[in-house]
Structure formats: C-alpha cells, structure tokens
C-alpha cells in the first residue's frame, strides 16, 4: 500500500535511471509505439520494466482515430504495447466525426479484439472541436463497461482545466486560473472517482496558450512556468489521496508527469515532493492515527487470555 504510484514516460535507455530516482511506474512513449523496432526492444522493455516498476503504461501514437490509417496505427501500437507488458493504454480521442459516442465505442471494440486484458484510458480533448468533455468521457466509459471492456478515464489535468473552464473559447488563462481552486479540483476528482473502477489515473504538465489564427493551442512548459496553478492543484490532490488511502475501499492511484523531456525528472520529483509535503500533516493528524493506548490495552488483554 502506498499513497500513490508516480513516474513519467521512458524509452528503454532511461528505464534504469528512472528506477534509481525512485519512480514506481513507467510509460512507453508514443514514439516507441509509432515505429517499427526490433522485437528485442519490446521484450527488453517488458523485462526491465517488470523488474524495476510496479506498473507499465503506454501512450498511444498521435494519429487521428477518425481515419482508417490512424485506427490501424493504434491497433499496431496496442500490439507493441502488449509486447512491452503494458497494463494501461492511454490515447487521444481526436476530432469529432458525427456520431462520436457510437464511433468511439466501435473503436474500443476493435481495440479489445487485439487485447481484451489491457485497460483502455481515453484522454479529455486537447483542443476545441475534439471529442472528450468530461460529460462525453462519462458516457463513453459507461457504454464501454456495458460491453465488458476494461476502461478508466485518463485524467490529463491541464486538458480538463482548459476544456471545462472554456479557455479554448475565451482565451483567458488567468480567469480560468482564478476558478481552478481547491474545491473546483476536488469536485472533478470525486466525479471521476465514481467511474474509475480499477485505478485513478492522473496525468499532468503545466502549459501556456498559443494562438494560431482563430485557434488556441497548448504548449507544455517547465513546472512553475505555466497553467493551471500548482498550489491549489497539489493541495486538492493531497486531500483526495489521503482520503482515498484512509477511507474504506482503497483505490490504486497512478500519477504520470508528462512535462518537457529535458526537465521532466527534476519537475516530477519537485511535484512529488509538493504533494507529499501537503499530505504529511493530513496523514499524521490525530484522526488518521491509531490510538496506540487502546491498541496496547487490547493486546494486553489478549495476552492474559
């Protein structure tokens, strides 16, 4: 039992270093699943990851599921992820196609034909005009469960921030940042907890906004340089994590940092420390601790018997 499993994406070349830093999970990056590599690469990734980490995730390639070519690329990626030992397949839903719910349910059925043991984890939309609001994710996950497909939401937190607070439409990150307080995040977590039967799957990096024509795009930045604000988010995470760990029905929690490659390990450790520091007082509160006087009293009475 641990408060949460944490880690980032790694190629084969950085698995050992990432493990030595104390990370407990690894994610196979999209580039690995988009290319044809020697079979030994996937076998080695699985062998080392099983040795070093508690969980292996995979991030699907950035191909649109709205095209036949993109769908085939994902099916191939799932085969490679399976060879790597992935337990969760994270992927983007992409642009709208019309009857989105049934379309993506059919996609999941095709995914499941390749591997029906892996847990599929669709992300919230990454831009305006894409499928994947929280309402739509809930509908898709409910429909997939009825088909006995293993599925959980992928909680890419900055995407939720951008979508649910209308940043793509308003182009106002500061206004959204004021609304994204601790209570706002906790409502999101509690809502997603209800449909995350297996695992709570958090993902995060800070971003800034770039305008190109009329479109707004997110750009990842180092921790502390962008949005959403880290302080209320880490406070909300610590509250959720401690409550999850100390209430009945403990749920496994994964936290994947998806920041820029050149600073991802430093940022990940900084973020881990922020969450843990905020969790210490909550875990060590009087309410969370065992009353050891009563405990020893109980043990003494047992020994006498």
* Mean pLDDT of the chain, nearest integer: 92
Answer for the pair 218, 207: CB distance below 8 angstroms, yes or no: yes
Q: Which two tokens stand for residue 180?
A: 């994204």
Q: CA–CA distance from 285 to each of 70, 106, 281, 297 (Å)? A: 51, 48, 6, 22
Model pLDDT, residue 126: 81
Strands 215-220 and 207-212: antiparallel
Model pLDDT, residue 291: 55
Q: pLDDT band at 215, cuts 50/70/90?
A: confident
Omega prior to 174 cis, within 30 of 0: no
Tokens 């340089």 correspond to what residue?
225
Of the two residues 301 and 119, the one the predictor is more confident about is: 119
Distance, CA of 72 to CA of 67 (rounded, Å): 9
Model pLDDT, residue 293: 56
Q: What percent of the chain has pLDDT over 90?
A: 81
Residues 6+ apart with CB under 8 A from 178: none
Count up the domains in the chain and report the number.
Answer: 1
Model pLDDT, residue 295: 53
Strand partners, 210: 217
* pLDDT tens-digit map of 134-178: 999 999 999 999 999 999 999 999 999 999 999 988 889 999 999
For residues 193-222, average pLDDT: 90
Domain that holds residue 285: 5-302
Q: pLDDT band at 304, cuts 50/70/90?
A: very low
3-state helix/strand/coil string of the chain: CCCCEEEEECCHHHHHHHHHCCCCEEEECHHHHHCCCCHHHHHHHHHHHHHHCCEEEEECCCCCCCCHHHHHHHHHHHHHHHHCCCCEEEECCCECCCCHHHHHHHHHHHHHHHCCCCEEEECCCCCCCECCCHHHHHHHHHHHHHCCCCECCEEEHHHHHHHHCCHHHHCCHHHHHHHCCHHHHHHHHHHHHCCCCCEEEEEECCEEEEEECCEEEEEECCCCCCECCHHHHHHHHHHHHHHHHHCCCCCEEEEEECCCHHHHHHHHHHHHHHHHHHHHHHHCCHHHCCCHHHHHHHHHHHHHC
pLDDT of 202 over the 60 cut:
yes
Model pLDDT, residue 127: 81
Q: What is the CATH number of the domain that holds 224?
A: 3.20.20.150
Model pLDDT, residue 286: 65
- Burial of 146 from C-beta contacts in 10 A (0-12 / 13-18 / 19+): exposed
Residues 6+ apart with CB under 8 A from 34: 61, 62, 63, 73, 77
Q: Which two tokens stand for residue 43?
A: 């076998």
Tokens 């590599």 correspond to what residue?
37
* pLDDT tens-digit map of 34-52: 999 998 999 999 999 999 9
């Amino acid at each position: 039992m641990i408060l949460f499993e944490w880690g980032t994406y790694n190629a084969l070349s950085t698995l050992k270093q990432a493990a030595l830093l104390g990370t407990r999970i690894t994610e196979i990056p999209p580039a690995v699943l988009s290319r044809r590599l020697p079979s030994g690469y996937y076998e080695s990734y699985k062998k080392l990851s099983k040795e070093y980490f508690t969980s292996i995730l995979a991030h699907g390639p950035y191909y649109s599921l709205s095209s036949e070519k993109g769908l085939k690329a994902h099916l191939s990626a799932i085969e490679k992820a399976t060879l790597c030992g992935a337990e969760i397949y994270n992927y983007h839903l992409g642009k709208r196609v019309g009857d989105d719910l049934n379309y993506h349910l059919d996609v999941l059925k095709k995914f499941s034909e390749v591997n029906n043991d892996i847990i599929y984890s669709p992300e919230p939309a990454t831009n305006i005009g894409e499928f994947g609001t929280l309402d739509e994710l809930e509908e898709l996950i409910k429909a997939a469960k009825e088909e006995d497909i293993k599925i959980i939401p992928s909680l890419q937190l900055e995407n939720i921030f951008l979508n649910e607070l209308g940043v793509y439409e308003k182009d106002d990150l500061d206004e959204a940042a004021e609304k994204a307080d601790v209570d706002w995040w906790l409502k999101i977590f509690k809502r997603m907890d209800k449909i995350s039967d297996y695992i709570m799957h958090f993902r995060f990096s800070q971003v800034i906004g770039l305008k190109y024509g009329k479109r707004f795009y997110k750009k990842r930045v180092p921790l502390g340089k962008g949005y959403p604000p880290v302080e209320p988010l880490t406070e909300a995470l610590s509250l959720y994590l401690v409550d999850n760990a100390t209430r009945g029905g403990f749920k496994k929690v994964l936290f994947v940092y998806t920041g820029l490659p050149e600073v991802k390990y430093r940022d990940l450790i900084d973020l881990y420390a922020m969450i843990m520091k905020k969790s210490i007082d909550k875990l060590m509160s009087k309410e969370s601790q065992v009353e050891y006087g009563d405990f020893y009293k109980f043990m003494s009475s047992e020994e006498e018997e």
